[in-house]
Structure 1
Amino acid sequence: MRTVLDVVGVCFLAAVLLVVAFACRRRWLSRDGGTFDCSLQLAEKDHGRGWALGLARYVGDDLQWFRVFSLAWWPKLVVNRRQLQGITTRRPVGNEPLVTYAGHVIVDAELRDRTVHFAMTEEALTGVLAWMESAPPSSQTYH
C-alpha cells in the first residue's frame, strides 16, 4: 500500500510541476507584451484537423508562434512581415470551432512560398494588420 501512495504522490508532484512550468513559460513569453492567443493549423488537412493551440508574439519584424502545451523556449513558426503577401479571413467551419479558441476567426496568411492558417480574435487580427502595415517604408514590398 505504501508503494502505491508513493507512486501517486510522485505522479501528483510531477503534474503540479508541469503546470507550474507551463505557467512560467507563458509568463516568460508574455513578458514584453504583444502576445495573443493564436491557434495554427500545423498540417494541411480538411477543416477541423491538424490544429494546435498556441500563442503568438511580435518581435521586431517577426511574428513568432509557440505551442501552448510545450516546454520549448523557441518558436515553432516564425513569419517575417516581409514574407506576408496577403491575408484573408473566414469563419470557422466543420470541426474548427471545436479545436480552436472560442470566438476566433480563421486567418489565411499568404506567404511567398505557402499559405499558413491561423485562428485568432478579431482584435488580434486588427493588431496583425497594423503590425504588417507599420514596417518602415524602405522595407515594404508591394506586389
Structure 2
Amino acid sequence: MDVSTLALALLLGSLVVAVWYALRWLRMRKYGGVSVALRWDPDRERSGWHLGIGRYRGEEFLWYRVWSLRTGPDRIYPRDSLRIAGRREPVGSESYAVPTGSTVLRCETTDRESVEIAMGPGALTGFLSWLESSPPGRRVPRAS
C-alpha cells in the first residue's frame, strides 16, 4: 500500500465521521433539541463541561454528547428525580465552555448525584416549564 492510497483512505474515513456528526447534530436539532452543556460531579476540582443537545421525551430529559458516535442518549434524567439546588452565571473561563448567554443550574438527583446544566435563556425557560409541570396527582417542587 503506497502513501497516496493510505492518505486517501484516511481522508475518506474522516469525511465519513464528519458527515456522521453533521447528520446526528441536525437530526437532534430538528426533533426539538436545544444546546446544553453538562457537568457532572461539579464539586470535583477537575470536572469539566461537556457540550451536548438536550431533548425531552415524556417524563425524561435526554442529553446527547456532541462529540460521540453513540446513537442513544449519554445521560437520562427523569423529571421526578431532578431538583434545582442553585442558579448562577458562568464564571471566568466557563463562559467559553457553555452556550452563549447561559445560566448554570445546579441540580441534584434523588440518588444524591450533583450535576450542573448550562443553557441559554430560551432553553432555560423551556426546561423550567417542563420541570415544573407534572401529570395530575404528582407534586413537583417549583424549579425557579
What's the counterpart of residue 111 of structure 1? 109
Q: What displacement does 1:30 show?
A: 3.6
Q: What displacement does 1:43 show?
A: 4.1
What's the counterpart of residue 71 of structure 1? 69
Alignment of 1:1-143 (within 5 A): 3-33=2-32, 35-44=33-42, 45-46=44-45, 49-112=47-110, 113-142=112-141
Unaligned runs of 5+ in 2: none
Partners of 1:91 and 1:120 in 2: CA distance:
10
Moved more, 2-11 or 51-60: 2-11
Instruction: Give RMSD over aligned pairs.
Output: 2.1
Aligned residues, how many? 140
Counterpart of 2:20, as a letter, is: A
Secondary structure in 2 aligned to 1:73? coil
Moved more, 79-88 or 127-136: 79-88
The answer to whether the 8 A contact 1:40-1:118 is kept is: yes
Q: What displacement does 1:32 show?
A: 3.0
Unaligned runs of 5+ in 1: none
Partners of 2:41 and 2:10 in 1: CA distance:
33
Secondary structure in 1 aligned to 2:80? coil
The answer to whether the 8 A contact 1:49-1:95 is kept is: no
Partners of 1:130 and 1:82 in 2: CA distance:
13
Q: What displacement does 1:10 show?
A: 1.4
Partners of 1:31 and 1:42 in 2: CA distance:
26
Secondary structure in 1 aligned to 2:77? strand
Percent of paired sites with the same residue: 30
Secondary structure in 2 aligned to 1:138? coil
Moved more, 57-66 or 15-24: 15-24
Q: What displacement does 1:142 show?
A: 4.4
- Cα deviation code 1:87-127 (max 9, x no counterpart): 53211113212222332221111222222101110111110
Secondary structure in 1 aligned to 2:125? helix
TM-score (norm 2): 0.85
